[in-house]
Chain A
Amino acid sequence: MNRFLIPLVIFVVLVVFLAVGLNRDPKLVPSPLIDKPAPEFSLPRLHHPEQRIGKQDMLGKVWILNVWASWCVSCRAEHQVVKRLAATGAVEIVGLDYKDQRADALRWLETLGNPYTATAVDGKGDVGIDFGVYGVPESFLIDKQGVIRYKQIGPLTDQAVAEKVLPLVKKLQAEG
C-alpha cells in the first residue's frame, strides 16, 4: 500500500506544479517597480515640442502612463480602450510615444483620436528602459505621490480596466 502511495503523491504534486506552470504566461515578467517611485523623466511633448512633460508635472494627481508607438499593432486595438477610459474622466492619461517617428505619431493620433492629456516623446527609448518597458503597449498607474501602483503588460482591455484599473484609481483618488 505504502509502496504505491509515495510515488502517487509525488506524481500528483508534479502534475499540479506542471499544470500551474503551463497555464502561466511566460511573457508576463512581474515588474520590480510596483510600489516604487516612478523613475524621473522630462521629455518634449509631441504636439508642443518646445514644452516638456515629466513626472514632476503630474505629482498630486492619479495618472496613467500609457506606452505606445505608431508601429505597434496591438496599440491600435488598445487605443479604443484607452479612449473609453479617458472618456470616463476618472483618470488622466499621459502617452509615452516610444521609439517612434514624430510625423507617424502625429498622424496616428489624428486618425485614431487623442485621449492623452499630453504625449511625451521618447525617441531613443531611454525612459522606456528606466520604466523597464520590454514590449509595447504597457501602462503604469501612478499615484499622487508618484509611486507606481499597477502595471499592465500588453494592451489594456475593457476587462482589465473594469476589474483592476478603475477600482484602484478610485481608491488612489480617495487617498490623500
Chain B
Amino acid sequence: MRRWLPIVLLLLLPLGVQAAVEVLDFKTPEAEASYNKLIKELRCLVCQNQDLADSNADLAKDLRHKTYLMINEGKSEQEILEYMVDRYGEFVLYRPRLELTTVLLWFGPFLLLVLGVFLVLRTIRRRRGAATATALSDEERVRMERLLAADGDEKNS
C-alpha cells in the first residue's frame, strides 16, 4: 500500500490542471456560430495582427465578452459589427468594407493582374513580330551566303 500511494497521488495530479477554455452558454447553435464568426472577424486592437478569437490580451477578452453579451441579447451580427466600428473605427474589421476609400484596396490586385497580363501579351506579340520579320531580300541572301561560306573556309583552314 505504502508503495502505491505516491503513484496514486501522482495520477491524481493532472486533475488539478485545467485548460483555460472559455465555456460559454448560448441559447441557440446559431448564436454560437455567430459568436465564433464574429470573434474571427474582429481585430484585437492591442495586438493588431490577431483576431479576438486568438488573442489573450485583456481588451480582447473584454470585447469577446461584450460580443457574447450582445449575442445573448439577441443583437444581429450587423449590429455588433456596427457597435465595434462606432467605437474603434474601421480598423477593427479584418475585412474592410467596400467603400470609396477602400476601392483600390479591394480591386487594386485585379488591376495589377490585368496590367500584368496586358504587358505580357504585348511583349509576346512584339517578340513574335520580331521573329517573323521581313524575309531577306535577294541582295541580303547573297551577302549572307557569302559570309557563311567565308566562315566555313576559315574553320576548314
Q: Which residues of A contact B (CB under 8 A)?
A: 26-27, 29-33, 99, 124-125, 128-132, 134-135
Q: How far is the CB of A16 from chain B (nearest CB, A)?
A: 16
Q: Are B87 and A131 in contact (CB under 8 A)?
A: yes
A125-B62, A129-B63, A129-B66 as given contacts; A32 in contact with B46, CB under 8 Å: no
Q: Are A134 and B88 in contact (CB under 8 A)?
A: yes
B58 at the interface (CB under 8 A from A): yes
Instruction: Tell me the complex Cα distance, A125–B64, Å.
Output: 13
- Which of A26, A27, A32 is in CB contact (< 8 Å) with B87? A32
Instruction: Tell me the complex Cα distance, A26–B67, Å.
Output: 25
Q: Are B63 and A26 in contact (CB under 8 A)?
A: no
Q: Are B87 and A33 in contact (CB under 8 A)?
A: yes
* A33 CB contacts on chain B under 8 angstroms: 87
Q: Are A32 and B86 in contact (CB under 8 A)?
A: yes
Q: How far is the CB of B63 from chain A (nearest CB, A)?
A: 7
* B86 CB contacts on chain A under 8 angstroms: 32
Q: Are A134 and B46 in contact (CB under 8 A)?
A: yes
Besides A32-B90, A129-B63, 16 more A-B contacts (Cβ < 8 Å) are A26-B48, A27-B48, A29-B45, A29-B88, A29-B89, A29-B91, A30-B89, A32-B88, A99-B58, A124-B62, A125-B58, A125-B59, A129-B87, A130-B87, A132-B87, A134-B45
Q: Which residues of B contact A (CB under 8 A)?
A: 45-46, 48, 58-59, 62-63, 66, 85-91
Instruction: Tell me the complex Cα distance, A175–B97, Å.
Output: 37
Q: How far is the CB of B5 from chain A (nearest CB, A)?
A: 42
Sorted nearest first, the 4 A-B pairs with minimum C-beta distance are: A134-B45, A132-B87, A32-B89, A29-B91
Q: How far is the CB of B67 from chain A (nearest CB, A)?
A: 11
Instruction: Tell me the complex Cα distance, A135–B58, Å.
Output: 10
Q: How far is the CB of A60 from chain B (nearest CB, A)?
A: 25
Q: How far is the CB of A151 from chain B (nearest CB, A)?
A: 11
* A132 CB contacts on chain B under 8 angstroms: 87-89
Q: How far is the CB of B123 from chain A (nearest CB, A)?
A: 12
Instruction: Tell me the complex Cα distance, A128–B45, Å.
Output: 13
